[in-house]
Amino acid sequence: KARVRVDIVGGVGRVALARPEKGNALDQESAHELVDALMEFEGDDIVRAVLLSADGDVFCDGVDVEALAALLDAPIETDTRAAADVGHVFLTIRGMTKPVVAAVQGRALGLGCGLATACDVVLARDDAQFGYPEVRLGLVPAMVMNMLRRSVGEKHAFDLVASGRVIDAAEAERIGLVSRVLATNGFKDEVERYVLGLAAHPTASMGLTKRLFYRLDLLSFRDGIAEGVKTSAEARQTEDFRTGVLRFAKPDKQGE
């Protein structure tokens, strides 16, 4: 049985975690299916934005504990491959030119919280809960800390990973872990409105925006400005820019 559902509607590539009976827990097969779906969306010109959601009342309870148990006596090389497969999901999301939006309801814990945080935008239903309880299980939230520190800063990040506590959607928004909190009533409609809005934007400027946004992580302030100059000039050479400028500057001359 497939661990994710994939569809394309309204220019939005939709991938949903589809193991509600397991709390949508992640294992290696889930990671492979997610990467396959995301790469398919990245290569499809019809897709202009991506929505990551989950079936059932839980977004993702984290790693599949049964899968972990099966690897208890495995050599370190096997554990490394399993972790790398999940890491590949995070790298794929960040490497895409198309924006990826997570719609989170219920619990998003451990790898599930990291999966949401890896996305460009996190829309949380007001009943959502977030946390990194790995330390309580003798684990380390190793890969997900890479996104967490960038999202909320050192002090909030260390508090979450060291305490293992679970926070509600309001606190998650306050510290920067999620982008917006939406009411349960009408949540799906608001998510749909948001992703369709992203899909309506020009693809060239969206792709350049995402590329520069994450590239700045690696640059000094001066180099970041220089990279911004290059990206701005690159954007101005696109047909999307030309069309947009003519539409707003000379609305009476469209089509000339």
Positions marked catalytic:
134
C-alpha R_g of the chain? 19
* Contact status, residue 89 vs residue 118, Cβ threshold 8 Å: yes
- Measuring CA to CA, which residue among 109, 107, 101, 113 is closest to residue 147? 113
CA atoms within 13 A on the CB side of 204: 14
- Token readout for 154 is 């050192």
CA distance 34 to 32: 5
CA distance 249 to 256: 13
* Contact status, residue 115 vs residue 102, Cβ threshold 8 Å: yes
